[in-house]
Structure 1
Amino acid sequence: MAPSSRIAIIGAGNVGAAAAYALMLRGLVAEIVLIDADADRAAAEATDIADANAIARPTRIWGGDYADVRDATILVITAGAATKDGEPRTAIAGKSAAIVRDCVGQAMAAGFDGILVVASNPADAMTQVAQVASGLPSARVIGTGTLLDSNRFRKRIADRLGIAPGAVEALVLGEHGDSEVMAYSTVRIGGMALDAYLDGRGFDRAAIAHDVMRAGYTIADGKGYTSFGVATAIVRICEAIHRDERIVLPVSTLVEGQYGIDDLYLSLPCLIGAGGVLRILTPDLHDDELAALHASAGALRETLKNTG
């Protein structure tokens, strides 16, 4: 891997620019380069962020090209097709796959040999497309997956209970999309399972699950796109890699036998460090959750058929 402290982002749209801005505020790395098919857009976003950086932490930020990817330790791909009028993320799989393959191909030709983080939609399928196109070990190709969904899940539960989201452990598994699985069996508050914490109080699990699954659509309906939530998920993964945190995050990874699922990218809790995915964890699931996870895997296989 390259020795420098540089993160490259391919895609200077709403998500890519928000991720670059958040990375700058964190002061995580010395260099951030934005790359886009629209070079003027990348340069303008980089200049805008660099101007803000004058009163933040010293980080070099610029609009570059694929030659700049060679010295990056982490490459983030946000480029892809955009959904329109509430269509599901899976509807753009073919168009996004062509874009992702092109981006990855140019990055590898430029000599990239770091860790690839994929946020393009549909996220799980595009991560699998990127891994195949790159030839990198699957541990070094990570999708943002259900990290954002899990954060939404924790927040919705916390809001209903009147407690801080940091007090809640909860995982969303499977697809980052309509078939995602709200794993209520993983919910813990102070080490207590949800039912024990509720102590007989009512709790509408289905309403929360629906709200979490539809959150991205709701945000996009209101402002035309989503950006800050997924950008924060990107930054959190980059932090875990760059700092070798060895923290557990629910991200999209190549599943090879876990829960009886093979050769498919989907989200499970993973131990993340400098080498990427160090270990895939398999919490005990209820029977209905396991069935839902297999159904989600089936939906993802159908999406992959549309990636060409």
Structure 2
Amino acid sequence: MIGGLAQHGHGKKALLLFDKMPKDDVAPNHVTLVTVLCACNLAGLVTEAKNYFKMMEESFGIQPTQEHYACMIDFLGRAGKLDEAMDIVKKMPFEANASIWGALLGAARIHKNIELGQLSAEMLLTLELEKSGTHVLLANIYASVGSWDNVAKMRRLMKDSKVKKEPGMNWIEVKDKIYTFTVGDRSHSRSKEIYAKLEELGDLMAKAGYVPMIEVDLHDVEQKEKEFLLAHHSEKLAVAFALIATPPGAPIRVKKNLRICLDCHTAFKFICKIVSQELIVIDINRFHHFSDESCSCGDYW
């Protein structure tokens, strides 16, 4: 229940539930504390997370594991407290594993910290060379600061190492049938309608104040080309299809195999207001409920 509430953006309710446990004589274990720290992370509750981490040994007699430290380092990094996160890494009673270096790499991407990104990626590549996420995140960091030569180097490294990037995919169920979309997908039988709906939404969003976030695109191309590529992301195609294939006003649920991109996340806030429908995107991290021009994650994911 704690984990479910946190995944749907109800971090404070999740913590209230945890605080009820001792009153009901239900003792938490190390898994409970991982879930609580994750709830703090998903809600951006830094102070609360620090308190719960401290309470683990003092109040519950639970020795922190790699998982607990990874949660701490992840939320400190997301909150921009990179020095504090690195300080914990240095003071941990064991060597940092892939989860911890992955959390630091993710924080480096959010805050465009090339130095930390390079260090984290270097450590990750010694631990799990075959995973494409490390290469992609570091390339993201380079692209965010316009370092296209380094982006090209990362792509060459992936090619030389025979590491393939996992393609972004989205799934949506309509009338008991599952439909799959990839970026720029035109294989659907209703593609013309889908792209027409996207164009219509694009015009309405522009009038409402939406500006494409071209900095999230990894291609070294002109602004107009970046905007074109962003407009045809797989999650946007899935949502456009849902709008032409489901009854007006019905909630739209889309599943994504990766983290939702920042531009799509921003666009969906505009779309849900324009169409007066709730959009629910389940990505690799959590559930995003878009309604009334906002998201349940509070823009923290």
TM-score computed with the length of structure 1 as normaliser = 0.29
- Normalized per residue, which structure has more helix? 2
Task: Choose between structure 1 and 2 for higher RCO, CA contacts under 8 A separated by at least 6 residues.
Answer: 1
Q: Which has the higher strand share?
A: 1
TM-score for the superposition, normalised by structure 2: 0.30
Q: Highest Rg: 1 or 2?
A: 2
